[in-house]
Structure 1
Amino acid sequence: MTQQVQQHPAYPPAYFEPNSEDEIDLRELFAVIWRGKWLIVACTAVFAIGAVIFAINQPNIYRANALLAASNQESNKLSGMASQFGGLASLAGINLNAGGGTDQTTLAIEVLKSRQFFGDFLDKYQIKADLMAAKEWNAITGELSYDPEVYDEHNQQWTREVKAPKQPEPSMQESHEVFKKQVLSVATDKETGLITIAAEHLSPIVAQQWVTWLIKDINQVMQQRTQQETLANINYLNEQLDKTSVAQMQTVFYQLIEEQTKTLMLAEANDDFVFKVVDPAVVAEQKVKPKRALICVLGTLLGGMLGVMMVLIRHFAGADKEADNA
């Protein structure tokens, strides 16, 4: 008796048969690539040459950086006073932590990145041409040359052609965007708390100068802010002292005035008010970018991959047309 095998209705016979149309024949694939090898070689060569030309034409960029430590002298001086009289001082509208602590360091970093600080920095050192129009740095003479289509160095006039609302001379906001994105970088080490301020430029001399100026100016700005705030606190405390006749409150005011006076003295005497320089910026001898070898390698790989894709697309597109015609 012949036993008939019943197939499961959920799986038709075609399900178990391999679909040859969906399979990829690796030998055929390699054969297609080999037939189109000259197109791949040509595409790779074009991209490789283009990458070399692009890499050669890119100017060297140098980086100067300085390692800084937060000056927490003020925080140590005022921490005890803030805990003892912080409540009374806050009721009186006094900030005992003016000029000290981690918050002051964080504030200084944000001020360093601000438009107002950069605007003063731009006007003080007249760096707009070096920032926005520098084209090349001569390593022998140490001089910068400027793009004549952007800035006429001899007549000291901006010659670039831009559309409104931009002007031939870059505005402070436009310069600040370039400075923030392409020049300045600030990083804080979470383990040590040390801060690195770096600047990148065509000229290593300019980069080193800018980092040095930035550290000097941010210390001065934060020092002046603390002096103004502390003087305002002292004046306010003296006014409140004249208005009260309670001996205990007078004692508190005297102690607050004493501590604010100490803060003012320390602010006036300490040039490294917020940041102490651990390792100053130096003129870099080696460029940080461009990575010309990497550009050439990536350009060559991109050309090779594009060539392979073109060969495969051309082959399968032709195969589809033949199938349609058949």
Structure 2
Amino acid sequence: MTTKITHQRNSVDDAPFPQIAGDDEIDLRELFSVIWEGKWLIIAITTVFAVGSVIFAINQPNIYKSEALLAPASAEGSSGGLAAIASQFGGLASMAGINLAGKGGADKTQLAIEVLKSRQFIGEFVEKHQILPELMAVDKWNMADNSLTFDPGRYDSVSRTWVREVVPPQNAEPSKQEAYKVFIGKLSVNQDKESGMVKMSIEHQSPYIAKQWVDWLVTDINRVMKERDVAEAMRSTEFLNKQIELTNVADIRAILYKLVEEQAKIIMFAEVRDEYVFKTLDPALVPEEKAKPKRALICVLGTLLGGMLAVMIVISQHFLSNRD
């Protein structure tokens, strides 16, 4: 009796293993069977996505990218002299409350990049060059006559008025904040950490406008940084001259005269150099080839997405019907 019961238990314990393997094999066959039965639905959905991705890719305008390679301009006339004064008269200068720390070229380059990306600079850039329609309302670029076609729902090129419909507090004419968001998306400024070289690029539907904007940006950032340093040097000179009149200590007066001399050098170098912060090593060119869109990639990804979605729909319908 005991032996018979043990034999039955062993049979029961051994039975589920081949049964589980059989179930897995049946499920896999069932999965492929479901996909095969729904092949026409899968083909139809994939075809719709493929055609839609092709139409979408064709309707996307070509975007051209113009790029310039810039080198940080040396900071002669500013840091070297101040460092020498600091080594000689650092103690006396500290007593007088004067900071002799000079600004290096690397710091000035990084400052110029941050100024270039600022809302104030970009807002003034757009307003100065009157490029708001080209920035916010271009529909496409016509290669035959190098002209732009504007979106009639946004901008009337004949009367040069904005006609877009917006929700308050926005106005028909885009604000500086809107212009900044669009412009910063087209602008790219990257500095190589090892060499210090800066690459500046602009993307636009028109390759000629992309090249023109890069040239304007380089010119304007050099001008702005020059004006900032000259104005600061002139204010410093005015302050130092007042301090010279107020002190009778010979050593302090010597330091102040040296500082006045350094400020004069800064002004002189700024006036004689147009490329004040960035020197152009490789100027921007009119690109001949588009940078984007990648139409072939869009079509492939759209087709794959449609096929995956179609398979999921077919499998979901099958299991939902079985559950019901």
For residue 38 of structure 1, what is the amino acid of its counterpart?
Answer: W
**Counterparts in 2 of 1:130 and 1:154: CA distance versus 1, 3 Å:** same
Does the Cα contact within 8 Å between 1:135 and 1:144 map onto a contact in 2? yes
Matched residue type, 1:131: L
TM-score relative to the length of structure 2:
0.89
Contact 1:82 1:97 in 2 (8 A): no
The verdict on how the C-alpha distance between 1:33 and 1:44 changes in structure 2, with shifts beyond 3 A counting, is: same
C-alpha distance in 2 between matches for 1:167 and 1:15: 77
**Does the alignment pair 1:97 with 2:98?**
no
Following superposition, the deviation at residue 80 of structure 1 comes to 2.7
CA distance in 2, matches of 1:164, 1:22: 63
1:122 to 119, 126, 129: 126
Name the counterpart of 2:45.
43
Look up the equivalent residue of 1:222 and give its one-letter code: M
Task: Tell me, in whole angstroms, the C-alpha distance in 1 between the residues paired with 2:15 and 2:232.
Answer: 83
Q: Is the 8 A contact 2:86 2:100 kept in 1?
A: no
1:14 to 1:219, Cα distance in 2 relative to 1, 3 A: farther
Which residue number in structure 2 is paired with residue 260 of structure 1? 263
Q: Counterpart of 2:188?
A: 185
* Equivalent position amino acid for 2:265 in 1: K
- Between the aligned partners of 2:106 and 2:156, the Cα distance in structure 1 is 45
> Structure 1's 22 and 16: CA in aligned 2 closer, same or farther, altered over 3 A?
closer
SS at match of 1:305: helix
* Shift of residue 26, structure 1, vs aligned partner: 2.0
Distance between the aligned counterparts of 1:258 and 1:103, measured in 2?
A: 22
Q: Distance in 1 between matches of 2:126 and 2:29?
A: 65
Tell me if structure 1 keeps the 8 A contact 2:86–2:101: no
Aligned AA (1:23):
D
Residues 63 and 294 (structure 1 numbering): CA distance in 2 closer, same or farther, change over 3 Å? same
- Which residue does the alignment assign to 1:28? 30
Offset of residue 22 of structure 1: 7.3
CA distance in 1, matches of 2:239, 2:272: 23
Aligned to 2:170: 166
In the alignment, is the contact (CA less than 8 A) between 1:94 and 1:233 conserved in 2? no
Q: Once the 2 structures are TM-superposed, how far is the Cα of residue 3 of structure 1 from its aligned partner?
A: 11
Alpha carbons 2:71, 2:198 under 8 Å: kept: yes
TM-score, with length taken from structure 1: 0.89
Q: State the one-letter code of the partner of 1:273.
A: Y
Cα distance in 2, alignment partners of residues 234 and 14 from structure 1 = 98
- Give percent identity, aligned residues only: 51
In the alignment, which of 60, 64, 67 is matched to residue 58 of structure 1? Answer: 60
Instruction: Check conservation: 1:78, 1:96, Cα contact below 8 A.
Output: no
Distance 1:288 1:241 in 2: 59
1:324 alignment partner in structure 2: none
Corresponding residue SS for 2:188: strand
8 Å CA contact 2:153–2:163 kept in 1: the answer is yes
Residue 112 (structure 1) aligned with residue 116 (structure 2): yes
Letter in 2 for 1:97: G
Tell me if the contact between 2:222 and 2:277 (Cα under 8 Å) persists in the aligned partners: yes
> Which of residues 238, 242, 248 in structure 2 aligns to 1:235?
238
- Determine if contact 1:62/1:200 at 8 Å carries over to the other structure: yes
Q: Which amino acid aligns with 1:110?
A: E
Q: Summarize the Cα distance change of 1:23–1:135 in structure 2 as closer, same or farther, 3 Å threshold.
A: same
Structure 1 residues 15, 159: closer, same or farther in 2, change over 3 A? farther
CA spacing shift, 1:158–1:3, aligned 2, 3 Å: same
Amino acid in structure 2 at the alignment position of 1:227: V
Give the match's secondary structure for 1:239.
Answer: helix
Q: How far does residue 16 in structure 1 lie from its aligned partner after superposition? A: 6.3
C-alpha distance in structure 2 between counterparts of 1:285 and 1:115, whole Å: 31
Shift of residue 13, structure 1, vs aligned partner: 5.4
Structure 2: runs of 5+ lacking an equivalent = none
Change (3 A) 1:212 1:13: same
For residue 73 of structure 1, the aligned residue among 63, 72, 75 is 75
Matched, 1:284 2:294: no
Distance 2:115 2:100 in 1: 19
> Unmatched 5+ residue regions in structure 1?
7-11, 322-326
In structure 2, do the counterparts of structure 1 residues 255 and 200 end up closer, same or farther at CA, with 3 Å as the change threshold? same
Q: Secondary structure at the match of 2:149?
A: strand
Distance 1:20 1:43 in 2: 34
In 1, the alpha carbon distance for the partners of 2:306 and 2:147 equals 38
Q: Matches of 1:15 and 1:29 in 2, distance apart? A: 25
**Alignment partner, residue 223 of structure 2:** 220
Could you tell me which residue of structure 2 aligns to residue 9 of structure 1? none
Residues 21-30 or 254-263, more deviating: 21-30
Within a 5 Å distance, the mapping from 1:139-150 to structure 2 comes to 139-150=143-154
**Separation in 2 of the partners of 1:82 and 1:28?**
86
Change (3 A) 1:46 1:79: farther
Q: Deviations over 1:213-253 (max 9, x none)?
A: 00100000000000010111111111111111111111111
Aligned residues: 315
Please name the residue that 1:156 is paired with: 160
